[in-house]
Amino acid sequence: MTKAVLRRLYQSRRQALSEAEYAERNEQIFNQFRSRFPVYENIAKPLTIHCFLSSLAKREVDTNPLIQYFLSQPSITLAVPYTHISEERLSHHHYTEGMVLETNRWGIPEPHASTLTIDVAQIDWVLIPLLAFDKRGHRVGYGKGFYDRFLAECRPDTLKIGLSLDEPVERIDDINAYDFSLNYAVTPSRVWDFS
């Protein structure tokens, strides 16, 4: 299937989930993530993790439990995106407990543009919102290219970890040279390893 078809299909599937199904899938994703990517207080190397802030109205994976988990670890610096819509790019801001967020025109919570930024070269892991993905690690986002441009700036060893409410499709038909593959995708039932 093409990305456009998958985008429509999976947006519709998300909206069809009951509140109980949505909550259960989010809890399962959180548990899968913690099981596969344990973070300990005394890890040898501090981590900088970039995590998207969820649009719950769009039924994205709820990253709030992960954010609280990361904030509880002194060895982690947490970055969240700010969308520069007219420039079609993301900037990356240091997230702290209690930070005031604003909602952009797409209904996505964001830090204020003037908050402390984090250089993309510092980012070790990127958690990426997925509408869909395939069994080769290719992803479908919202089609604006913000994450593809961001991932192009990341270090080659930065882990790209997608979060998906659904399991993968067999194959996305219209992958192009600008599309970045995932290292991992976390779903309610398992962690897919593409590395």
Q: CA dist 108 to 83, 103, 156, 181, 187, Å?
A: 9, 5, 28, 24, 21
Ligand-binding annotation for 60, yes or no, is: yes
Residue tagged 């790209």 (tokens): 160
Ligand-binding annotation for 140, yes or no, is: yes
CB-CB contact of 169 with 132 (8 Å)? yes
Ligand-binding annotation for 182, yes or no, is: no
Ligand-binding annotation for 90, yes or no, is: no
Ligand-binding annotation for 143, yes or no, is: yes
Residue 29: name the closest of 189, 159, 183 by CA.
Answer: 189
Ligand-binding annotation for 66, yes or no, is: no
Ligand-binding annotation for 5, yes or no, is: yes
Structure tokens, 157: 């060893």
Ligand-binding annotation for 57, yes or no, is: no
Ligand-binding annotation for 7, yes or no, is: yes
Ligand-binding annotation for 98, yes or no, is: no
Ligand-binding annotation for 141, yes or no, is: yes
Q: Distance (Å, rounded) from C-alpha 140 to C-alpha 128?
A: 10
Q: Distance (Å, rounded) from C-alpha 131 to C-alpha 141?
A: 5
CB-CB contact of 59 with 17 (8 Å)? yes
Ligand-binding annotation for 139, yes or no, is: yes
Q: Which residues contact 122 (CB under 8 A, 6 or more apart)?
A: 48, 77
Q: Which residues contact 22 (CB under 8 A, 6 or more apart)?
A: 59, 165
Question: Which residues sit in the known binding site?
Answer: 3-7, 53, 60, 139-147
Residues annotated in a binding site for ATP: 3-7, 139-147
Binding residues for substrate: 53, 60
